[in-house]
Structure 1
Amino acid sequence: MGNLLGKEKPLKEVLRENKRTINRAVRELDREKTGLEREEKRLIIEIKQAAKQQQMGTVKILAKDLVRTRQHVTKFIEMRSHLQGCGLKLQTVKSHHAMAEAMKTTAKAMCKMNKAIDVPAINKMMAAFEKENAKTEIMQEIMGDTLDDALADESTEEAEEQVVNQVLDEIGISFGEEMPEALVGAPAVEEKTGPGKVAVEAEVADTALIELEARLNNLKR
């Protein structure tokens, strides 16, 4: 009815009908081939019987029929192979059509999704995230330094100095054993201690704190 009204059948329906036709033809060929194989067996039996009865004329005629029957069986096998090849071609076309339809649907969905996404809003959100993340890192750094200073213990500092002095003494002994003249002639290095050393350390700490506060102020702008 669709063709009578001038409306073309969809490709899926056309492929289904062609595949059905090919399968029907293959079944018919199989039936014909089965019949010819039965005929071949019957001819072989008759040839044997005629040969036993010394009927050589009949044997020749039956042998000719047997050869023709076998030739037809071979042709049916070839035709069946060709039909199966056509069926595989149709199946390939059907698969390509399904893949094309899937790609078409996917492209439409991706287009709608891209239209729904607000790219400037995402960029703004990412910039805000980077800014807040930088603030968090700076705050963590400040809090870590503050906690380190608050939890610093004099006994810990003394233990650290003791370990350092021990290592330096061991190195000095080694140098003294290997190069005593160099140690004798080397000038002594004065270590700054007392209020001057404390003032320098405080100045360095204040400078680091000022730099961190400046970074925070820049992020708040």
Structure 2
Amino acid sequence: MKNLFKKRESPSDVIRKNQRCLSKAIREIDKEKNLFQVKEKEIISEIKKMAKINQMSSIHVMARQLVRIRSYCKKLSIMKANIQAVSLQIATLKSQDSMATAMKGVAASIKKMNSQMNLPQIQKIMIDFEKESDIVNMKGDILNDVVDDTVGDVDESEESEGIVNKILDELGIQTRNELNNLPVTSKQLGVGGQKDKSSVGKESSETDADLVARFENLKRS
């Protein structure tokens, strides 16, 4: 009747209990083995004493005791090895039980999550998210195109105007250099100097007018 109300032990509790029993048995075997080893040393010492006084009958009796003690120690070592093997198996079972318990908990959690997961709702959310993302990307592309067109035209106009002005400035400098480097011969400044001077001035004016006209044409283009 008492066992009916007793709490049922779990597999891990049973394994832990057996593990303690095996550990206790190993300690007892070590204790017995140490006692036999001490007894073995005492018998060897007694055999040496009896050999000195030539007590051969006592030596034979103690030699048989020594053989029995060594045989017991060997058996105890074998028993200890077997118990350790069983203890290792129990430890393996304990690990497997722990793993099974953990997997059971994980399986229960996954089952609960699956029961709470609404796949149609999730699919709708993903579709809406993808749709809104496409709209945002489209608006961003349109805005970038407008900005690029506006800023790009201004930048290109300013850049092209700067290039034209630079070229015209260089041509203006070159034109002034050409005017300054026009040759003046001694024949033009010789006899009839007044006439030659007027002709040179006329020629210079024509050259200057031609260069200015070319400069204006380049500027208008």
Same fold (TM > 0.5): yes
Partner of 1:136: 136
> Partners of 1:129 and 1:9 in 2: how far apart?
53
Q: Is the 8 A contact 1:29 1:76 kept in 2?
A: yes
1:83 and 1:2 mapped to 2: Cα distance? Answer: 33
Structure 1 residues not aligned, in runs of 5+: 161-221
Q: Take 1:2 and 1:110, find their aligned partners in 2: how far apart are those partners?
A: 40
Task: For 2:118 and 2:76, locate their aligned partners in 1 and report how far apart those are by CA, in whole Å.
Answer: 65
Give the paired residue count: 161
Where in structure 2 are the equivalents of 1:199-214 lying within 5 Å? none
Matched residues in 1 for 2:118 and 2:39: separation? 77
Alpha-carbon RMSD across the aligned residues, in angstroms, is 2.4
Tell me the distance in 1 between the aligned counterparts of 2:105 and 2:2. 26
User: In 1, distance between residues paired with 2:113 and 2:49?
Assistant: 81
Q: TM (normalized to structure 1)? A: 0.66
Provide the C-alpha distance between the structure 1 equivalents of 2:130 and 2:160, rounded to a whole number of angstroms.
Answer: 38
- Pair 1:155 & 2:158 matched: yes
1:30 positional shift: 1.4
2:159 partner amino acid:
T
- Mark the structure with the bigger radius of gyration: 2
Deviations 1:42-80 (A, max 9, x none): 011111111122222322222221121111101101101
> Measured at CA, do residues 2 and 155 of structure 1 come closer, stay the same or move farther in structure 2, by a change above 3 Å?
farther
Structure 2: distance between partners of 1:2 and 1:10: 18
Q: Which residue of 1 aligns with 2:35?
A: 35
The structural deviation recorded for 1:2 is: 6.2
Matching residue of 1:10: 10
Amino acid at match of 1:109: S
Specify the alignment match of 1:218 in structure 2.
Answer: none
Shift of 1:110: 0.7
- Residues 90, 54 of structure 1: CA spacing in aligned structure 2 closer, same or farther, 3 A cutoff? same
CA offsets, 1:109-157, max 9 Å, x none? 1111111121111111111111111111111111111111111221335
- Give the Cα–Cα distance (whole angstroms) in 2 for the partners of residues 3 and 19 of structure 1: 23
CA distance in 2, matches of 1:68, 1:129: 86
Q: Match of 2:9, SS?
A: coil
Q: Distance in 1 between matches of 2:11 and 2:120?
A: 43
Are the equivalent residues in 2 in contact too, given 1:2–1:8 (CA < 8 A)?
no
Output one character per residue of 1:185-210: Cα deviation in whole Å (capped at 9) or x when no partner.
xxxxxxxxxxxxxxxxxxxxxxxxxx
Check 1:24–1:3 CA distance in 2 against 1; reply closer, same or farther (3 A cut): farther
Residues 167-192 of structure 1, C-alpha deviations (whole Å, 9 max, x = no match): xxxxxxxxxxxxxxxxxxxxxxxxxx
The share of aligned pairs that are identical, in percent, is 37
Amino acid at match of 2:48: K
Which position in structure 2 is the counterpart of 1:173?
Answer: none
Q: Which residue of 2 aligns with 1:51?
A: 51
1:119 has 2:131 as partner:
no
Q: Report the counterpart of residue 99 of structure 1 in structure 2.
A: 99
Q: What TM-score results when the alignment is normalised by the length of structure 2?
A: 0.66
Note the C-alpha offset of 1:97. Answer: 1.2
**Which residue of 1 is the match for residue 24 of structure 2?**
24
- Distance in 2 (alpha carbons) for counterparts of 1:132 and 1:114: 27
Whole-angstrom CA distance in 2 between matches of 1:25 and 1:85: 13
Q: Greater CA deviation, 125-134 or 18-27?
A: 18-27
Partner Cα distance (1:148, 1:2) in 2: 90
Kept after mapping to 2: 8 A contact 1:2/1:9? no
Where structure 2 has 5 or more consecutive residues not aligned to the other structure, the ranges are 164-221
Q: 1:86 to 1:5 in 2, by over 3 A?
A: same
